[in-house]
Chain A
Amino acid sequence: MVLDFTPECGDRVTVFGYNGDFVVKDRNIADDGQWRFRLASAFSGEELDDIGYAKLTYSDGEKVRKVLRQILPASKPWPADLILSPDTGLPKYEIHFDEMRDGTPTVIVIFLAKPETVPSFAGASKRIEFYNRLRQKLLMVSLEAWVQFTTKEERSVLSAAS
């Protein structure tokens, strides 16, 4: 699977020579016709300006986000207990980052369960089957990170309901 590499505002990228992820804040085409980017560290907020296209690549989390956007439509049936995003019509998820104990970076994809979903092993098994299918499709992309899938309740909804 080939990902079109055109970082947009809000995308997370890594920068040659720097540690950690950066978020694209702004971009413009310079006089030489090449893209230049203004970036902010996702962790410290440190800003980098006038960074050339060649120094950037997508972070693993961004790759997962973009690939999911491509493969989710073709990964039906979706578990019935997942919330669908009103914007995309796809199952709604969050992407988080962590490290395993041995330092292996981990991308955690957390799908959101409908608030009325009663936790059940039958429901969980269907989700796990779905997550295994997604994992297989993600193998087509080169990733350094371990990717995990799981489910959570949408806390704000729960709070509002209580």
Chain B
Amino acid sequence: MPLADELLGHSRALLSGSPAEIDLRRAVSAAYYALFHLHSSAVAEQVSPDLPVGLRGRTQRALDHGSMVKVARQFSQPGPVPEAIPKDVGFSGPVSQTLANVAAAFADLQSARYSADYDVLDADGKIGPQWAVDCVAKAEDAFRDWRTEGTSEGARVFLAALIIGGLWNKGSQEQVPKNRGSRINP
């Protein structure tokens, strides 16, 4: 069974019965990593051949969580192609609602994973069974959506973006303005 599916099953199993807080936290963390591995293995499959045998694994390891979440946020709105994607890629869009939901789930779950693993104080008081079930269900929904969306053109561009990160325009004349998409603070 692929690691992504195992992690998803593990996250659900941790919530069975009367889970302790540590189980809730680990379930959320596993749910994020399930989605991370779902995408990272899809990226590796898309960009690397299956031989030599270690190439895909190394490709997965090259992915960076911080870059991935930025891409996920860019794809989290259905509609026009994110500005970061150069026109010469040839993807005219739109980003589908399904792909946007998958991308938003990735961003949400990464943030939740940091809360699960590092937020000891839980000042928001959110770490509890409902939050954990929400997170695992979100990962399950994203897996389901990815099964229908994973071969679309938009999904291929999304996967490429996950590994290319901010380097789409490296060496190109076309540059993304530094402040595009973000407010300039006074």
Contact = CB atoms under 8 A, between A and B. Distances in A.
Interface of A: 16-17, 94, 96, 98, 100-102, 104, 106, 108, 110, 113, 117, 119-121, 123-125, 127-128, 132, 135-136, 139, 144, 146, 148, 150-153, 155
Interface of B: 12, 15, 65-66, 69-70, 73, 77-78, 97, 101, 104, 107-108, 110-112, 114, 123-126, 128-138, 140-141, 182-183, 186
Chain B binding surface, main DSSP class: helix
B137 A113 contact: no
27 contacts: A100-B111, A102-B69, A104-B73, A108-B124, A110-B124, A110-B126, A117-B130, A119-B15, A119-B130, A121-B133, A121-B136, A121-B137, A125-B137, A125-B141, A127-B134, A128-B138, A135-B104, A136-B97, A139-B77, A144-B183, A146-B73, A146-B111, A148-B111, A152-B124, A153-B130, A155-B125, A155-B128
A121 B140 contact: yes
Given A101-B66, A128-B138, A153 B107 contact: no
Contacts of A117: 130
A76 B131 CA distance: 22
Contact of A124 (B107, B125, B134): B134
B131 A101 contact: no
B73 A150 contact: no
A86 B44 CA distance: 51
For chain A, what secondary structure do more than half of its interface residues adopt (helix, strand, loop), or is it mixed? mixed
A55 to B, nearest CB: 9
A152 B131 CA distance: 6
Contacts of B112: 148, 150
Given A101-B114, A119-B129, A151 B77 contact: no
